[in-house]
Structure 1
Amino acid sequence: MGKKGRETLPYNLPQLQNLIKRDPSSYKDEFRQQYARLQACLQLFNGASTTQADHQTLAELVNFVGHVAPCFPAECQSFPQDLVDLLSAHSQTMDPDLRKTLVQVLILLRNRNLIPSAALLSLCFTLFSVKDKQLRSLLHSHIVNDIKSQNAKGKNNKLNKALQNFMYTMLKDPSDIAARKSLEAMIDLYKKNIWNDAKTVNIIAEACLSPSPKIVATAVNFFLSVNERPDDSDDDEATETVDVNSLKHTLHVSKKKRSQKARMGRALATVKRKQRARNRAENYNFSAIHLLNDPQGFAEKMYSRLKLATNTSALRFELRLQILDLITRLVGIHKLILLPLYDFFVPYLRPQQREVTKILAFAAQASHDLVPPEAGQLLVESIANHFVWNNVASEVVVAGLNALREICSRCPLAMGETLLRSLIDDYKNHRDKGPTMAARSLIALYREMNPELLKKKDRGKSASMALREEKKGGLAAPKLVYGQVKVAKDVEGIELLEEDQDIPPGDDDDFDGWIDEPDNSDGEEAPLLETEDAGDIDVDEIDFDNGEWEIEEMDASDSGEGDDSSNQSDPGDAAENGSDAKSEGDKNEAVADSKSTKMPLAAQKVLTEEDFARIRALRNQRDVEKLTGAGGPKRKRGAEELEGEDSEDENEITDVVNESVITAGIKRKADYEARIASIQAGREGREKFGSKRNKTERSSLTNKVKAKNSKAFMMMIHKRDVKNKAKRSLKEKRRVLTNHVKHAVTIPLRPAPYVNLSAFNTRGSGMSRYQTTASGGQMPAMGGSIKTCYLINLSIQGKTFNVEVDSGSSNLIIPTAGLAGYTSGPDAPTYNTTGKATLQSGSVSQSFAEGSSWTGYIYSDTVTLSGTSISASAPLIGVTSQTQNPKVMSGGTGSTGLWGIAYRSLSSYTTASSSTPATVFEALVAQNPSAIQNNIAFRACPYPYAGSSAMDIGATNNQLTCSTTGVVGYARIPQEAWYTVQVLGIAVNGKFTFLPSGFQTSNAYGQWSIVDTCTSLLYLTNAAWMTLANAVLNSNAIPGLTSYGTDESNPFFHYQMGIRASAGSNINWGALPSLTIDMVMNQSTVVTLTIFGHQYIQLDPVNGYVFTVLPQSSSVNYINLGAAFLNSYYVVFDRDNAQIGFAPGCGCDRANASHPAAFVGVREVSSLAYENGTGTLPFDFYSNNNTLPSSASPRNSITSMSWVVLLMFIITALVN
């Protein structure tokens, strides 16, 4: 290298690194120079504060020396320790990039064996406490890979023992992050079969008792995880298949009966289903659970931790469930005795309990044959009393019976005879399929385990025959005894294999080594069989040692002699035959003795995998024959010999009970995605069926499509079809138009661009853990914070304001600086009037709800929808003072403003010219015509569904609507000010109530009723409220609710307070009355909106269940449809067409068997009588399917008279 190039080397470290690796000796001086520079930087870093440039220089030098250190091992001997000391002293305060570089260099040195493994690994574990996720990921991968390489050729016990001891101390580290990452590294090493010994498992078990919830969750999940092993069930499937052909042949040669064929089909289906279930069985991590040193002590400690966490709510509910799962697995696998555990289960065995199916599965896991019958009976009786009775849903009964079956299969003595027979009699012929199948599975279980507990008619054929044979023989049926253990005397099912391998008589293989003499044509009697030495057969000379030969009695037809030879025998031959008979008897005796002394098959050979597979197939075949009664005499004898034995494959008991076993037989309605997936799966391989439209095949268009789309209109205007359209008569036009209307499809929402803004509940904070389910565990109860509004975010001057969305006003109101009683801070921004704001006019004042009022000034500023690019210059009001509680501006409590979305006529904005400018919403629509339209959709959800609330500007987001009946009812807005509707009638249980004469005559909203998003409750007339309240009382649906009064003496039903029942009340939702409100759609049609009990009785986090319907005062002659009513629907404020749309089954509402969704109907006005209260609805609201009748379907929702009026109007317009 030239002189100039060598002078630049100190400043070009990558080039110097490359040259040193090529020729280390030639550049030794340059290396020493850089190494001395590195030592100086290290001293500077340890002694004084450094800058970012110093960090970068140090990182470059460390990286350089780390790469060339193998070239100068003597000079770099102390280099690794210098880096270790530097990281140990300054890891928490060091620059992240520099720290990562130092760790990477140390890993590089370790890969080149320049630093001991133990020293670096100890440093890596201590660095886990650094709050750097990328660094922790790098350390984790290095620890696992380094320990794996150290144990690649053989177990490095010395290193493993030292590191395991160090990890045990790390689990008690004050830093939860370091302890958890150390635990994750140990778990990863176990899963990779590097540290798969008992010491590792017991260290992880100690982590289950850590005070940190995250460490506990990680350790518990390790024991509950599923082993990731390849599935080899396909290889065994062929060998375990039932011999279907043999069974069909047995049926074929016997007398043909339709019942036998059906029985054979059911038996085959049963056996194949059980085979598939065994093949799908999950392989759980039992190896770790079996390696525990003291499972009894560990289970007791975990139970104590669970009990303490339950009493103090120290751990979240999901983690407590996982701990309970681990405890029950320990009890079930090791057959531990933990009696307090069964008392712990009892309070949670309720249908309304959260995750009750998992708890039922855990209760079954904790059962085994060594559990005392008293403890098992406690679980069984609790489940039977709360799950299996006639006042719960069928799904609950199915879950209860399945849980009882799983518990009794493990602990047979837990079920008494009286309870068992009662359950079977009640549900084996139930009207629903689920309970019937669950009860029959319980019958099948006890047919195998203890048929005496069943009634005679339920025992089945095989069990009844076995009991009958035992009684004939004078033997008492064996009874189950607590603690009895069945000792296996031989390989299970080996008798079937021996029977299958027996050589049948008359087979040609019996004559191997024997010579068959030809018939004697001279009539001389020849011996039957002779050996090759022409000697007579001597039984004593036959060698039985090899276990291959055995002599069997042969029929005359196999001896080679015909019937004639026996008939031609003379009397002398008879004497000879008598002697032959005597010798034949001796031979038979010898054969019998040889069979009795024959060695068992397990002693003759080593059973292979093929033998075990054959045994499984024979056992399956025997099970089918026992179910159907098929099989020849030999098979029947084998079945009788094996009749009294337990068939473990028939009712295979696994240590882990999956939740799907408890819910088996519960068929839920598939959602849209599942139905589409099922349809697509059914179409596979059926390409020749169906239409070819929208398929991928390339094909030409039809002539009709080409003529419609490919030619210009001026080329088509002279066609005969076009001319004939213009020459149509009035009658023909009416016929064509009627046909179009008949086949029209209603599109509820117009496909236009939209902006979706998430809304959230103002009182949702601090309540995220409050949740409950309705009676029967069907669905979460509707409910939430009463007295609340919903918020969205608007951005003004770079600040985000959480404004309440109010459909009863038109102003945008936000606080200004210096507002009295307002909490300032980052969570409560204020409006800066000295910025870009433009003062429009003087002060303005207005009254607000509940006696509050505000005073402020009108400004003009840019308002932006947060999270979007949509903005507009619009007027707003900056509030300077306010009075009364609740304040419009609540500051730090969440609300920082109010956004009114009503019409402009309600606006308080005025200008110098006394004109009313556009509101904020109108300005957003006008200045962003390509982004949004003049429509609003609202989905306001109560607690616990506040996160699903949304506001759709443009009202076209179909994803906001859930599954509906397809009907969207639009109620007309009579006056463009407030969002009002004209209510025609109010019905309770289909009976219309009395409306006062002054109803909707003259009030603050003109003469209409109002739809208000910021009114929390539903306010009805006094008569309608009284009718609904009495119907609720008479339904007896709410326990303890018998009357209501004008004071608080009855806390459950108060005239002003409404229903106040505890959150755990067992409310019969299906018995509560319905509430129907009719609104005007047009001159001849009304929209019917119906809600049910779980929609007007909602759950408040403080007061429990609250009746959200209240009466208006006597001076008010309208009703107010507040948030409690709107929660049941997806509400569309169609400002363009002055109407409000209600979509059923949307919003936050869900439907099932006992909780029908809100309903929307459209019908003719004249079909109902509203005034006298005797009118009835034309269709039933209480059917389970809750579907519209044909007269109210989407295509025929308007009556024929309405269509005639509409057609005449259109025809008149065409003629004109």
Structure 2
Amino acid sequence: MNIVWRFILNILAFMMVAGDIPFDKIDKSVKIHKYSLYRVHKWKENNFQNAPSELSTRIDRMRGFPDIGYAIHITVGTPGQQFNALVDTGSSNFAIAASPNAGVPSYYHSRRSSTFQNRSQQVTVQYGKGTWTGDLMSDIVHLDVGFNRAIRQDFSGTPTKTFFDQLVDKTGIANIFSLTLYGPVLSKGLSWTSKDSNYGGEMTFGGIDRTLFLGHVYYTPVIKKWYYEVKLLNISVDGKPITMCCHGYEKYVTFVDSGTTEIVVPPAVFRTIVHSLQKFIQAPKLFWEGREVICPAGLGIAWSSLPIIEFTLPLAGVDGVLAYESSRFNLAISPQQYIRLSETVRNLGFPCYTFSISPSSNDAPVIILGDALMEGYTVVFDRINNQVGFAVSRFAAKNLTVSPGINRLERVKNGSLNIQNISSSSEDSVAIVSVVLASISLFMTCISIGVMTCIYFNHHRNKSSNDYPYRQVSSPHHPPAYSNAEEQYGSRDNSLADNGPTESD
């Protein structure tokens, strides 16, 4: 069993505070506030750490190769101590390293902060594999995102309103946020598509920024609010469903988790996926196990020849319009999402790739829709209606050879096809606060636990009705997922907003 140290920080966990936040400083006439973040790397195996300040281009034989996550930059304490905060929708605690360790380049010094308060309480968190333990404490956290200056992360026995609740109450923004993660991609000539290699996407508070995606937002219900748990109905490879015995996928808990780089599936499903892909691509066993990279020379990988992998979810609605009962939709991910470009490893100038699907452990029946899947979409976390939405990312559609897609499925009865008319709703007339993300590990949860815990490295964590057939609905508004972006969306590219991503951005 690999021991995984993970620096975990929950943005929404900032939000348990005592006292008022200075929202009067907000310029409410400005609807979108952007904050530049930093691209850093985390180690694939030993990654309970702040991201390293310098990017490594080598493979560490002990720790594997650097992995990409998504983070924001924060300061903690007075004077402020800087950290890279992993934004993770699959965690609920604000935890920070507070003692030296070989895998941690910097840590929180409580004695150097004049605003530090010790709560004299120990906290232990148990995961599917591994635990961590730390001391409960309080200090000032600064997140420079326009609406937020400095707030105290206070954890007394008296419940207080979360940061996000105060933000909603005092600014009138909607109780919703979204993530658009930009995975590493190559443009023509094997160069990075972004001028600034640190740029890794956007995070939006209070509404939806429609310049970031194409088409509609397809929502699936959150079945448990503790985390963003959704119901997965099926997984298909190249149009062929992978069936499971004994209650199928229902016995697995499925999370939408920005803190996990890979897509995690049941072991039997993993073996079927690998067996299917081995017909198309020759790679050593260690590649499929996630322990080696492949670096094809010449023209590289023929992406259009590789199969699409689809994840089927219940459809709650599209752009606010309720769907018929038992409607479904498929998230069709591109081969460039499950065979992911390594940003840090090259071989004689040729790009290298990692396999971004891994099996869950037998004692942890979970399915994780991690960054590898999320990077194809804008993912909307609608806390008002308890649902998670997906829309095809403009960045992914424009920069990937094979675009990700979304296919809507409707129930067919007596040979007829029920198709619901869908119209795009106007953009929410609320204040929208956007945060520019850097490609690094980050996390957020549906419910914030109000815990700032200092970890002293004596702990570890490894985070790791069907009576009738269904038929795909194809229309100009619901194109098949497998086409190239130019074929799929045509002239839509001409309507890109000035602040939308382009090949040169």
What SS does the corresponding residue of 1:1070 show, helix, strand or coil? helix
- Counterpart check, 1:952 vs 2:204: yes
Q: Deviations over 1:383-441 (max 9, x none)?
A: xxxxxxxxxxxxxxxxxxxxxxxxxxxxxxxxxxxxxxxxxxxxxxxxxxxxxxxxxxx
Alpha carbons of structure 1 residues 858 and 789: separation in structure 2 relative to 1, 3 Å: same
Higher relative contact order (CA 8 A, sep 6+): 2
Task: Show the counterpart of 1:1109.
Answer: 357
- Match 1:1008 to one of 253, 258, 264: 253
CA distance in 2, matches of 1:1102, 1:1029: 23
Task: Show the counterpart of 2:135.
Answer: 856
CA distance in 2, matches of 1:1062, 1:947: 26
- Counterpart check, 1:1157 vs 2:403: yes
What is the 5 A alignment of 1:616-635?
A: none
Q: Which has the higher helix share?
A: 1
What SS does the corresponding residue of 2:278 show, helix, strand or coil? helix
- Counterpart check, 1:912 vs 2:153: no
Alpha carbons of structure 1 residues 1127 and 834: separation in structure 2 relative to 1, 3 Å: closer
What SS does the corresponding residue of 1:1030 show, helix, strand or coil? helix
Alpha carbons of structure 1 residues 920 and 804: separation in structure 2 relative to 1, 3 Å: farther
* 1:762 shift after superposition: 2.1
Q: Deviations over 1:662-692 (max 9, x none)?
A: xxxxxxxxxxxxxxxxxxxxxxxxxxxxxxx
- Counterpart check, 1:937 vs 2:174: no
What is the 5 A alignment of 1:777-926?
A: 787-796=67-76, 797-799=78-80, 800-816=82-98, 819-821=99-101, 830-832=109-111, 835-840=114-119, 842-847=121-126, 851=130, 853-859=132-138, 861-866=139-144, 868-871=146-149, 873-875=151-153, 911-912=156-157, 916-926=159-169
CA distance in 2, matches of 1:923, 1:853: 30
Q: Deviations over 1:154-208 (max 9, x none)?
A: xxxxxxxxxxxxxxxxxxxxxxxxxxxxxxxxxxxxxxxxxxxxxxxxxxxxxxx
Aligned partner letter, 1:978: Y
- Match 1:1025 to one of 267, 270, 284: 270
- Match 1:1084 to one of 319, 326, 330: 326
**Aligned residue pairs, count:** 361
Alpha carbons of structure 1 residues 1055 and 837: separation in structure 2 relative to 1, 3 Å: closer
Task: Show the counterpart of 1:756.
Answer: 34
Task: Show the counterpart of 2:232.
Answer: 983
CA distance in 2, matches of 1:1163, 1:1001: 19
Relative to structure 2, which stretch is displaced further, 829-838 or 1080-1089?
Answer: 829-838
* 1:1175 shift after superposition: 7.3
What SS does the corresponding residue of 1:792 show, helix, strand or coil? strand
Aligned partner letter, 2:135: G
Q: Residues 940 and 949 of structure 1 are in contact (CA less than 8 Å); yes or no, is this contact kept in structure 2?
A: yes
Task: Show the counterpart of 2:222.
Answer: 973
Task: State percent identity of aligned pairs.
Answer: 24
What SS does the corresponding residue of 2:92 show, helix, strand or coil? coil
CA distance in 2, matches of 1:1015, 1:958: 25
What is the 5 A alignment of 1:436-835?
A: 753-763=31-41, 787-796=67-76, 797-799=78-80, 800-816=82-98, 819-821=99-101, 830-832=109-111, 835=114
Alpha carbons of structure 1 residues 786 and 1072: separation in structure 2 relative to 1, 3 Å: farther
TM-score normalized by the length of structure 1: 0.27
Aligned partner letter, 1:1025: F
* 1:939 shift after superposition: 2.0
What is the 5 A alignment of 1:270-285?
A: none
* 1:934 shift after superposition: 2.2
CA distance in 1, matches of 2:126, 2:398: 41
* 1:786 shift after superposition: 5.8
Q: Which has the higher strand share?
A: 2
Q: Residues 1000 and 1117 of structure 1 are in contact (CA less than 8 Å); yes or no, is this contact kept in structure 2?
A: no
4+ residue runs of structure 1 moved beyond 6 angstroms? 822-825
* 1:1032 shift after superposition: 2.1
> Tell me, which stretches of 5 or more residues in structure 1 are unaligned?
1-750, 771-784, 877-908, 1189-1216
What SS does the corresponding residue of 2:115 show, helix, strand or coil? coil
Alpha carbons of structure 1 residues 1128 and 831: separation in structure 2 relative to 1, 3 Å: farther
Aligned partner letter, 1:1093: P
Q: Whose radius of gyration is greater, 1 or 2?
A: 1
> Tell me, which stretches of 5 or more residues in structure 2 are unaligned?
1-28, 42-51, 59-64, 185-191, 317-324, 347-351, 418-464, 475-479, 490-505
TM-score normalized by the length of structure 2: 0.61
Q: Residues 995 and 1171 of structure 1 are in contact (CA less than 8 Å); yes or no, is this contact kept in structure 2?
A: no
Task: Show the counterpart of 2:337.
Answer: 1095
Task: Show the counterpart of 1:294.
Answer: none
Q: Deviations over 1:502-551 (max 9, x none)?
A: xxxxxxxxxxxxxxxxxxxxxxxxxxxxxxxxxxxxxxxxxxxxxxxxxx
CA distance in 2, matches of 1:856, 1:1092: 43
What is the 5 A alignment of 1:366-381?
A: none
* 1:758 shift after superposition: 3.4
* 1:1018 shift after superposition: 0.6
Q: Residues 407 and 472 of structure 2 are in contact (CA less than 8 Å); yes or no, is this contact kept in structure 1?
A: no
Aligned partner letter, 1:979: Y
* 1:853 shift after superposition: 1.5
* 1:977 shift after superposition: 0.7
Q: Residues 40 and 55 of structure 2 are in contact (CA less than 8 Å); yes or no, is this contact kept in structure 1?
A: no
CA distance in 2, matches of 1:798, 1:753: 31
CA distance in 1, matches of 2:127, 2:35: 26
* 1:1183 shift after superposition: 4.5
Task: Show the counterpart of 1:443.
Answer: none
* 1:990 shift after superposition: 1.7
CA distance in 1, matches of 2:401, 2:168: 39
Q: Deviations over 1:752-803 (max 9, x none)?
A: 9454333433228655999xxxxxxxxxxxxxx7644322122343413321
* 1:856 shift after superposition: 1.3
* 1:865 shift after superposition: 2.0
Q: Residues 307 and 335 of structure 2 are in contact (CA less than 8 Å); yes or no, is this contact kept in structure 1?
A: yes
What SS does the corresponding residue of 1:1150 show, helix, strand or coil? helix
CA distance in 2, matches of 1:1186, 1:993: 29
Task: Show the counterpart of 1:1072.
Answer: 306
Alpha carbons of structure 1 residues 1011 and 823: separation in structure 2 relative to 1, 3 Å: closer
Task: Show the counterpart of 1:1143.
Answer: 391
Q: Residues 969 and 1161 of structure 1 are in contact (CA less than 8 Å); yes or no, is this contact kept in structure 2?
A: no
* 1:988 shift after superposition: 1.3
Aligned partner letter, 2:204: D
Q: Deviations over 1:687-745 (max 9, x none)?
A: xxxxxxxxxxxxxxxxxxxxxxxxxxxxxxxxxxxxxxxxxxxxxxxxxxxxxxxxxxx
* 1:1095 shift after superposition: 1.9
Aligned partner letter, 1:1078: T
What is the 5 A alignment of 1:114-513?
A: none
CA distance in 2, matches of 1:917, 1:999: 41
Alpha carbons of structure 1 residues 1078 and 810: separation in structure 2 relative to 1, 3 Å: same
Q: Residues 985 and 995 of structure 1 are in contact (CA less than 8 Å); yes or no, is this contact kept in structure 2?
A: no
What SS does the corresponding residue of 2:272 show, helix, strand or coil? helix
* 1:974 shift after superposition: 0.8
Q: Residues 790 and 805 of structure 1 are in contact (CA less than 8 Å); yes or no, is this contact kept in structure 2?
A: yes
* 1:978 shift after superposition: 0.6
Q: Residues 411 and 470 of structure 2 are in contact (CA less than 8 Å); yes or no, is this contact kept in structure 1?
A: no
Alpha carbons of structure 1 residues 1057 and 1130: separation in structure 2 relative to 1, 3 Å: same
Alpha carbons of structure 1 residues 1008 and 848: separation in structure 2 relative to 1, 3 Å: closer
* 1:871 shift after superposition: 3.8
